Amino acid sequence: MGVSVPRIKLGSQGLEVSKQGLGCMGMSASYGLPKPDHEMIHLIHHAINSGVTFLDTSDAYGPHTNEFLIGKALKGGLREKVQIASKFGIVRKDGVREICGDPEYVRSACEASLKRLDVDYIDLYYVHRIDTRVPIEVTMGELKKLVEEGKIKYVGLSEASASTIRRAHAVHPITAIQNEWSLWSRDLEQELVPTCRELGIGIVTYSPLGRGFFSVGPALIQNLPENDFRKQFPRFKAENLEINKVVYEMISEIATRKGCTPSQLALAWVHHQGDDVCPIPGTTKIDNFNENIGALAVKLTPEEMTELSALADMVNGERHAFMASTWINSDTPPLSKGCTPSQLALAWVHHQGDDVCPIPGTTKIDNFNENIGALAVKLTPEEMTELSALADMVNGERHAFMASTWINSDTPPLSSWKVDT
C-alpha cells in the first residue's frame, strides 16, 4: 500500500495505538449476516501487518460472537502486537434492549469477555452506554478495581455527557471516549471535545464514514439486506435522504479535486481534528481496508476543512436510531455520599485546604464520633461546587451581633494611639 500508519498516545495514562483503528462490529453483527470467520481472520491479520493494531469490539456484537472471532484471530502470538478495545453495558432481556452498569454486572461482563477473547487483560474497556439508573461513580468504582487487578489496563466511556465524563474521571482516569465524529455527525464538538481536551482524554470516533454512506453513497441504501439495522436510522429515510445525497455528491466533487475517494476524504477530515483523535472505520473487505488506510496520506488545508465542515452541517436527520441512549441523555443520579448532613458539612470545610481546621463543639460522645467521621468523606470538585452553590442560598445574617464580627474589626492606626505617661 505504501502508507505508513503512525502511532499516537490515546489519553494521558500511556496507551499507545495506531492512528487509525479497525472497527470489527460489522464482521459479526448489525450490517447483514455474519461473515465467514476465516475471511475475517484474514482481514484482521492483514490489518495488523499493515500497522493497524487497534481492534474495536464489544460483548454486544453478535452478541458475543465478535469477541470470539477476535480471540481466534489473535492465536499464534499476535496478542502482544495489538491493543484490544471492548465494551460492556448493552444487554438484551427477553428481546428488549437494556443498559446495565451495576457493579456485579461490570465484573461478570469483563470476566466473560476475557474468556471469549482468550486473553489475560483488555487494553481499553469502555462503558458501552451509560446506565442512567446507577451513579457513574458506582460503575467506575468497579472498573477501578478491575484495573487494580490487572484485568483491564485503561477505562473508556462511550456516548457519555460532559458532566458524566467529569464525574467518572474523578473516580479513575478516563483514557478515551468513543463517540461519532465525522462529516455525518458533529454534535460532540461544543461540549465533549473541550471537556476531553481539558482533562487529557483521547477521542475514538466510531462510524467515521457515516455508517458506510461516504464509502458507497446513496447506492448503500438500495443494497441493504433486510436484517441490516441501518434501515432504522433517520438519515437513511426518504424524507432526509434527498438532502444527504446532495451532501455526498458535493463531497465527491471535492474528493475528485483532491485525487482521493470520498471515504478517504471523510476519514482525512476526522484525522485533521487532532492527534488525540483516532477513527475506527469498520469493513469486511481488504480492498476497502486498503482504501481507508490511504486516508492517512490525504492532506487538507484549513480552507478545505472549513468547506467540508460546512457540508457536514447540511446533513439532515437524527444521527442515531436510539438517540435516548446517546450522550445527550446520559446523566446519572448523584452518588449518595453515605454520610450524615453534619459529616457532609464538615467535609466541605476540610476540603477547603490543609491549612483549615474546623472545631465543631458537642456535649455528647455519639455526636463527637459522628463528627470525626467527616474526615473519611471524600468530595469531588463537582460536589464541592454543588455544595457551595447551596451555601450561597442561605438567607439572613449569620450572627446576632454582626457589628462585632470581622466586617467591623478595623482598628485605628497606631499613630493615633495616645498613651498617658
At 301 the pLDDT is: 98
Q: Which of 61, 125, 126, 248 is catalytic?
A: 61
The pLDDT tens digits for 157-178 are 999 999 999 999 999 999 999 9
- Tell me, rounded to whole angstroms, the distance of Cα 382 from its chain centroid: 19
Distances (CA, A) of 235 to 211, 218, 317, 318: 10, 11, 5, 6
Percent of the chain with pLDDT over 70: 99
The β-bridge relationship of strands 54-56 and 152-158 is unpaired
Using the predicted structure, report yes or no on whether residue 421 has a pLDDT greater than 60. Answer: no
Beta strands in 218-315 (DSSP E): 277-279
The residue-averaged pLDDT of 378-397 equals 87
The pTM (predicted TM-score) of the whole model is 0.81
Using the predicted structure, report yes or no on whether residue 284 has a pLDDT greater than 80. Answer: yes
The residue-averaged pLDDT of 41-70 equals 98
At 190 the pLDDT is: 97
> At 1, is the pLDDT very low, low, confident or very high (cuts 50, 70, 90)?
very low
More confident residue, 50 or 325: 50
Residue 248 is a catalytic residue: no
Using the predicted structure, report yes or no on whether residue 287 has a pLDDT greater than 90. Answer: yes
d(CA 132, CA 329): 8
More confident residue, 399 or 42: 42
- Judged by DSSP in three states, 201 sits in coil
The β-bridge relationship of strands 202-206 and 277-279 is parallel
Contacts of 175 (CB under 8 A, 6+ apart): 10, 11, 12, 13, 15, 124, 154, 155, 156, 201, 202
Using the predicted structure, report yes or no on whether residue 236 has a pLDDT greater than 70. Answer: yes
The pLDDT tens digits for 61-83 are 999 999 999 999 999 999 999 99
Cell 477473547 sits on residue = 117
Answer yes or no: CATH 3.30.70.100 is held by domain 7-329.
no
At 419 the pLDDT is: 66
Rounding to the nearest 10 degrees, give the CA dihedral for residues 176, 126, 295, 184: -100
Question: What residues does each domain of the chain span?
Answer: 7-329, 341-407
Distances (CA, A) of 76 to 45, 54, 72, 79, 80: 11, 18, 9, 8, 10
